[in-house]
C-alpha cells in the first residue's frame, strides 16, 4: 500500500504537467488558464493582442502558484507531518515553502510592471513597438493585427501551446508565455527540418511535421521557428507573399498518399524478397517508364488456400513507387487507419494482395 504522500505527489506532478502543457484531454475538459479566466481575458477574436497580453501574464502568474498548491495539498494529504507548523518542518520543506512564496511574488511583480501604462511594458507590446512606424505607437500595430486576425481567410494551425497564425501582413506564433510577431514583408522563410510519424497500428494517420524558420531583416525581431503539418503547407504558401527556401532539401509530403508512400516503402523493404529466375529480365515499369520494374506479388501472408489474398502470376511489371501509388489509390481516403490491413487487386490480373505480399525483386 502506497502512502498518501506518494500518491498525492504523483497525482500533483501529473496534474501540473498536464496543466502547463495542456494535452488535448485537458482542453476538452476545459482545464486551461484560458477557460478558467475566460471572462477576464475577453475575446481573442475581438482583440487578439490584448487577449494574449492578458493570457500570457495570467498564465505566468498561475503557473508560478503550482508549488504553493503542492505544499497546501501536502498539508492535507499528510496531516501527521504537521507541515503547517512550518518552523518545525524539515530544512527541505522550509526551502520549498520559501521558493513557493517567492516565485508568485516575483511573477506578480513582473505582471504588475507589465500592466503599467496600459500594458505598454508587456513583452508583446515591446515586440509590436519594433514594428511601429516612427510616428505611430505599438497600439497602431496591435489594431492592425486585431483587424487581420478577425478575417476568416487567415491561416491558423498548431496545438494550443504553439499556435501559428498567418494573416495578410503578419506571421504570428503564440506559445504559452510568449507571442512572436514578424511582418511578412520583412521575412525570409526557410524549411529547416521535418519529422515523419509513419502510419502504424498505433497512430492511425501518417503525419509529417515541418519546421520553418522565420527570420526578419528587422534586427530587433529575433528569428523563430514555426511547425506545421505537411498537408497544411500548400495553404500556408498561399497566404505567404515571400517564397519559402528549402535549405535542408526536405521532401514535403503534401497529401496523404505522398505520406503513405514512405510507410509503404519501408514496410515492403522488410518483406521477403523475390529471386528473379535467371532466364528472366526486368522490363521498364509500365506505370512510369522511368525505372525498371522491381516488384513481384507473391502470396506470403497466409497458406495458399487460406485468407482473401490470391496468388498473382504476373511477371514483375511495376516499380515500388508505382505499386505504392496504386495501393494508396485503391484505399478508402477517409479511413487511413485501414490502409495497412486491406487487400487490393493486382493492377494487371486483379488477384487480391496485401502489403505483406509485395516483394522486391532481387
Kindly state whether residue 346 participates in binding Zn ion, applying the rule CB under 5 A. Answer: yes
φ, ψ of residue 155 to 5 degrees: the values are: -100, 125
Q: What is the torsional sign of CA 28, 31, 34, 40?
A: positive
Residue 342 interacts with Zn ion (CB under 5 A): yes or no: no
Q: How far is the CB of 254 from Zn ion (least distance, A)?
A: 20
Looking at residue 300, the DSSP 8-state letter turns out to be -
Interface residue with Zn ion, options 111, 124, 312, 344 (CB under 5 A): 312
Interatomic CA distance for residues 302 and 344, integer angstroms:
16
Instruction: In angstroms, give the least distance from the CB of 290 to Zn ion.
Output: 6
- Region binding Zn ion by CB under 5 A among candidate stretches 59-67, 104-112, 251-259, 298-306: 298-306
Binders in 191-220 for Zn ion, by CB under 5 A: none
CA end-to-end span of the chain: 59
Q: Shortest gap between Cβ of 266 and Zn ion (angstroms)?
A: 18
Measured from the CB atom, is 47 or 346 closer to Zn ion? 346
Stretch that binds Zn ion, among 77-85, 149-157, 194-202, 348-356 (CB under 5 A): 348-356
C-alpha to C-alpha distances, 343 to 108, 313, 330, 355, nearest whole angstrom: 61, 17, 9, 8
Strands 358-360 and 344-345: what pairing? Answer: unpaired
301 binds Zn ion (CB under 5 A): yes
Residue 258 found at the interface with Zn ion (CB under 5 A): no
Which of 18, 129, 276, 314 touches Zn ion (CB under 5 A)? 314
Q: How many CB atoms lie within 10 A of CB 231?
A: 17
Query: To the nearest whole angstrom, how small is the minimum distance from the Cβ of residue 279 to Zn ion?
Result: 20
Distance, in Å, from the CA atom of 193 to the CA atom of 247, rounded to the nearest integer, reads: 9
Tally of CB atoms within 10 A around 142 = 24
For residue 112, give Cα distances in angstroms to 58, 69, 109, 121: 11, 22, 5, 10
Q: Please count the CA atoms within 13 angstroms of the CA of 150 that sit on its side-chain side.
A: 12
100, 124, 199, 319: which one binds Zn ion (CB under 5 A): 319
Residue 94, H or E segment: helix 91-119
Where residue 44 falls (left for φ over 0; alpha for ψ -120 to 50; beta otherwise) is alpha
Q: Is 360 in the site for Zn ion (CB under 5 A)?
A: no
Segment near Zn ion (CB under 5 A), from 74-82, 128-136, 239-247, 342-350? Answer: 342-350
Shortest CB 249 distance to Zn ion, Å? 23
Which C-beta is closer to Zn ion: that of 110 or that of 301?
301
What is the rounded distance in angstroms from the CA atom of residue 213 to the CA atom of residue 210?
A: 10
Residue number, 4 or 345, with CB nearest to Zn ion: 345
Q: State which residue, 282 or 351, has the beta carbon closest to Zn ion.
A: 351
Number of residues this chain uses to bind Zn ion (CB under 5 A): 15
Please give the DSSP secondary-structure letter assigned to residue 45: T
Tell me which residues in 264-293 interact with Zn ion (CB under 5 A): 285, 287-288
Stretch that binds Zn ion, among 43-51, 76-84, 161-169, 307-315 (CB under 5 A): 307-315
Member of 234, 272, 349, 362 binding Zn ion (CB under 5 A): 349
Task: Please say which residue, 16 or 342, places its beta carbon nearer to Zn ion.
Answer: 342
Reduced to 3 states (helix: H, G, I; strand: E, B; else coil), residue 22 is: coil
Q: Considering the complex, what minimum distance in angstroms separates the CB of residue 264 from Zn ion?
A: 13
179 with 159: CB under 8 angstroms? Answer: no
Does the footprint of Zn ion cover residue 345 (CB under 5 A)?
A: no
How far, in Å, CA of 154 to CA of 168, rounded?
Answer: 7
Closer CB to Zn ion, 71 or 353, in the complex? 353
> Is residue 348 a contact residue for Zn ion (CB under 5 A)?
yes
Binding site for Zn ion (CB under 5 A): 285, 287-288, 301, 309, 312, 314, 319, 322, 346, 348-349, 351, 354, 357
Amino acid at each position: 500500500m502506497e502512502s498518501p504522500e506518494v500518491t498525492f505527489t504523483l497525482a500533483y506532478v501529473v496534474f501540473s504537467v498536464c496543466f502547463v502543457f495542456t494535452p488535448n484531454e485537458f482542453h476538452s475538459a476545459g482545464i486551461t488558464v484560458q477557460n478558467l479566466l475566460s471572462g477576464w481575458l475577453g475575446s481573442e477574436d475581438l482583440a487578439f493582442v490584448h487577449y494574449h497580453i492578458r493570457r500570457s501574464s495570467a498564465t505566468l502568474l498561475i503557473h508560478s502558484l503550482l508549488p504553493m498548491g503542492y505544499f497546501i495539498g501536502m498539508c492535507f494529504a499528510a496531516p501527521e507531518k504537521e507541515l503547517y507548523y512550518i518552523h518545525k518542518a524539515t530544512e527541505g520543506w522550509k526551502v520549498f515553502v520559501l521558493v513557493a512564496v517567492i516565485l508568485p511574488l516575483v511573477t506578480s511583480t513582473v505582471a504588475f510592471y507589465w500592466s503599467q501604462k496600459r500594458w505598454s511594458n508587456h513583452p508583446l507590446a515591446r515586440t509590436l513597438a519594433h514594428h511601429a512606424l516612427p510616428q505611430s505607437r505599438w497600439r497602431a500595430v496591435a489594431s492592425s493585427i486585431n483587424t487581420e486576425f478577425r478575417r476568416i481567410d487567415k491561416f491558423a494551425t498548431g496545438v494550443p501551446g504553439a499556435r501559428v497564425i498567418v494573416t495578410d501582413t503578419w506571421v504570428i506564433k503564440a506559445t504559452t508565455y510568449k507571442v512572436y510577431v514578424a511582418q511578412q514583408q520583412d521575412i525570409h522563410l526557410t524549411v529547416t527540418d521535418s519529422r515523419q510519424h509513419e502510419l502504424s497500428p498505433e497512430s492511425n494517420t501518417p503525419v509529417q511535421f515541418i519546421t520553418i524558420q522565420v527570420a526578419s531583416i528587422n534586427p530587433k525581431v529575433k528569428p523563430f521557428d514555426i511547425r506545421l503539418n505537411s498537408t497544411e503547407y500548400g495553404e500556408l504558401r498561399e497566404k505567404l507573399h515571400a517564397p519559402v527556401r528549402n535549405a535542408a532539401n526536405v521532401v514535403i509530403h503534401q497529401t496523404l498518399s505522398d505520406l503513405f508512400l514512405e510507410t509503404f516503402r519501408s514496410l515492403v523493404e522488410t518483406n521477403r524478397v523475390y529471386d528473379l529466375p535467371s532466364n528472366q529480365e526486368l522490363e521498364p515499369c509500365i506505370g512510369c517508364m522511368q525505372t525498371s520494374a522491381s516488384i513481384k506479388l507473391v502470396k506470403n501472408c497466409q497458406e495458399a488456400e487460406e485468407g482473401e489474398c490470391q496468388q498473382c502470376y504476373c511477371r514483375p511489371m511495376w516499380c515500388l513507387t508505382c505499386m505504392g501509388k496504386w495501393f494508396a489509390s485503391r484505399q478508402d481516403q477517409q479511413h487511413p487507419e485501414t490502409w495497412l490491413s486491406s487487400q487490393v487487386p493486382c493492377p494487371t490480373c486483379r488477384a487480391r494482395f496485401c502489403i505483406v505480399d509485395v516483394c522486391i525483386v532481387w
